[in-house]
């Protein structure tokens, strides 16, 4: 007989994503460089097909694809720092929904884009497919 009661998420407590300093999560900082064509709106798109983080509920790895696109304002993200930033999630216990929001917040704080969109497209787990989207538009 199936037990419909989920296990207690005992490993969830203690990590409040919104108030935990990035250094405590060991996230690599995002570096930028000057966008020399300010005023010219272009979309820059990144496809990150091997994203990994840890599910705080089960302690199992979550795998997925992160798609990031943005219109730069005065700064562009430096690619190597983006790679190291994304790879630093491998040991972070974080929910799908929080990953996408956290990446968006960190990206906007670093680059101050005119617009940004992030999609977290996660591999099927437990017969459920999860896709999380977040966007930002400069006021």
List the CATH number of the domain containing 64. Answer: 3.30.1130.10
Classify residue 58: in a domain, yes or no: yes
Name residue, tokens 């989920």. 6
Quick check: 125 and 62 in contact, CB under 8 A?
yes
Number of folded domains that form the chain: 1
Q: Which domain holds residue 89?
A: 42-137
Classify residue 119: in a domain, yes or no: yes
Report d(CA 89, CA 28) in Å as an integer. 9
Report d(CA 29, CA 16) in Å as an integer. 19
Q: Which residues are catalytic?
A: 55, 62
Rg, the chain, Cα only: 16
**Residue range 101-106: mean pLDDT, rounded:** 96
pLDDT in tens, 12-36: 444 577 777 777 888 999 999 999 9
Report d(CA 6, CA 18) in Å as an integer. 25
**The model's pTM:** 0.86
């Amino acid at each position: 007989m199936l037990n419909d009661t989920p296990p207690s998420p005992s490993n969830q407590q203690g990590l409040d994503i919104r108030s935990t300093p990035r250094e405590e999560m060991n996230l690599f900082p995002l570096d930028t460089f000057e966008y020399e064509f300010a005023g010219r709106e272009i979309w820059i798109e990144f496809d990150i097909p091997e994203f990994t983080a840890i599910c705080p509920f089960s302690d199992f790895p979550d795998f997925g694809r992160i798609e990031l696109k943005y219109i730069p304002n005065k700064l562009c993200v430096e690619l190597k720092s983006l790679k190291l930033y994304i790879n630093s999630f491998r040991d972070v216990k974080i929910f799908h929904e929080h990953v996408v929001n956290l990446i968006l917040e960190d990206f906007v704080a670093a680059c101050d884009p005119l617009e940004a969109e992030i999609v977290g497209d996660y591999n099927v787990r437990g017969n459920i497919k999860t896709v999380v989207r977040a966007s930002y538009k400069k006021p």
